[in-house]
Amino acid sequence: MAEPLIRFSHVRKAFGPKTIYRDLNLDIFPGETLTVMGGSGVGKSVMLKLLIRLLDVDGGSVSFHGEEITRMSEREIGGVRRRIAMLFQGGALFDSISVGENVAYGLREHFRDTMSEQQIAERVDWALSLVGLPKIEAMRPADLSGGMKKRVGLARAIAVQPEVLLYDEPTTGLDPINTERINHLIRGLKKALNVTSIVVTHDMKSAFSISDRMAMVVRGEIIAVGTPDDFSRSKDPRVADFINGTAPVTEDVETLLRA
Ligand SMILES: Nc1ncnc2c1ncn2[C@@H]1O[C@H](COP(=O)(O)OP(=O)(O)OP(=O)(O)O)[C@@H](O)[C@H]1O
């Protein structure tokens, strides 16, 4: 098997008395789409944030291309954030600037000295076309539907041509048609850009339609990693309950309080 592109190894993370990860171990390989699943509040978004150092680990190691992220300087982590782009929940667009400026945002942040205005405009056009929204640069985020906002957020993430895309709940709040549109885009971008993706989602249908592999987080650890087929055949009741959407009868009070 190829070397992992990203490796979480024995990661620990707590907020005050609340332990989120006691021993997180996960490898992500180049070019794959890996979906992270788990109940509300288990720490799926925290995992993405640890990777780009929006949060710091308490212990353990996080590496990208074999380089230790937890010990990088601010300048080095800036370089990683250019190569690992995050699509935040809801698209997280700035309402006060145009769609075009929103998509150009990361380009201005990371390539200010190397890209001309013309190149930036061309890249914005390229990214908006890839998400199926060409020529809407002049529109305002307030004029877009929820599905369009997510796609513009995705255009902003891909504009920097990252190696890795992190999707935080990309289909939450969307109707079935827009959900399928986003799933289709995630699959298409993987093919078109050969990008590695980590997707956090509650949406099982989405997870099964986009994933090469899936990982499930329960109480501070990954309890299962495998292909969608492995997951659908899993005998682990925690996995089966989750993917079938049935209330876990084994769930204890601690888990309920954490939700
Ligand atoms: N910066 C922070 N400070 C304190 N607590 C935090 C912080 N970020 C996250 N948490 C807590 O960590 C836990 C995990 O949060 P996270 O957002 O990763 O959950 P999640 O698994 O993505 O859940 P959901 O599916 O509901 O979005 C939550 O209880 C949250 O309140």
DSSP symbols for 45-70: HHHHHHHTTSS--SEEEEEETTEEST
Contact of 157 with 165, CB cutoff 8 Å: yes
For residue 189, how many other CB atoms are within 10 A of its CB? 19
> Which ligand 1 atom minimizes the distance to the CA of 16?
4
Please report, as a single letter, which amino acid is at residue 135: K
Rounded-to-integer distance, Cα 243 and Cα 259, Å: 17
Are residues 50 and 62 in contact, defined by beta-carbon separation less than 8 angstroms? yes
Sorted by sequence, the CB contacts under 8 Å of residue 96 that are 6+ apart come out as none
Long-range contact set of residues 10-18: C-beta below 8 Å, sequence gap at least 24: 10/59, 10/60, 10/61, 11/50, 11/57, 11/59, 11/60, 11/61, 11/62, 12/57, 12/58, 12/59, 12/60, 13/43, 13/46, 13/50, 13/55, 13/57, 13/58, 14/58, 18/258
Q: Pocket around ligand 1: residues whose beta carbon is below 6 Å from it?
A: 15, 20, 38, 40-46, 200, 202
Quick one: how many helices (H) and strands (E) in the chain? 10, 10
103: enclosing H helix or E strand? helix 99-111
Q: Which residue of 18, 22, 24, 45 sits with most ligand 1 atoms within 8 Å of its CB, as the best mutation to test the pocket?
A: 45
Specify the pLDDT at position 153. Answer: 92
Closest residue (by CA) to atom 9 of ligand 1?
46
Residue with the smallest CA separation from ligand 1 atom 4 is 15
Separation of CA 248 and ligand 1 centre (Å)? 21
The residue contributing the CA closest to ligand 1 atom 7 is: 15
Residue 23: count of CB within 10 angstroms of its CB:
14
CA dihedral 45, 47, 49, 50 (to 10 degrees): 160
The alpha carbon of 90 and the centre of ligand 1 are apart by a number of angstroms equal to 16
From the CA of 153, how far away is ligand 1's center (Å)? Answer: 21
Q: Going residue by residue through the chain (259 aa), what tens digit of pLDDT does each one get?
A: 678 999 999 999 999 999 999 999 999 999 999 999 998 889 999 999 999 999 999 999 999 999 999 999 999 999 899 899 998 776 688 999 999 999 999 899 888 889 999 999 999 999 999 999 999 999 999 999 888 998 999 999 999 999 999 999 888 888 888 889 889 989 998 988 899 999 998 888 899 999 999 999 998 899 999 999 999 999 999 898 888 877 554 445 555 555 5
ipTM of this predicted structure: 0.96
Please give the structure tokens belonging to residue 138: 């002049």
Q: Would you state the pLDDT for residue 110?
A: 84
Question: How many A from CA of 69 to the centre of ligand 1?
Answer: 21
Domains of the chain, first to last: 6-258 (3.40.50.300)
Q: How far is the CA of 113 from the centre of ligand 1 (A)?
A: 36
SS3 106: helix
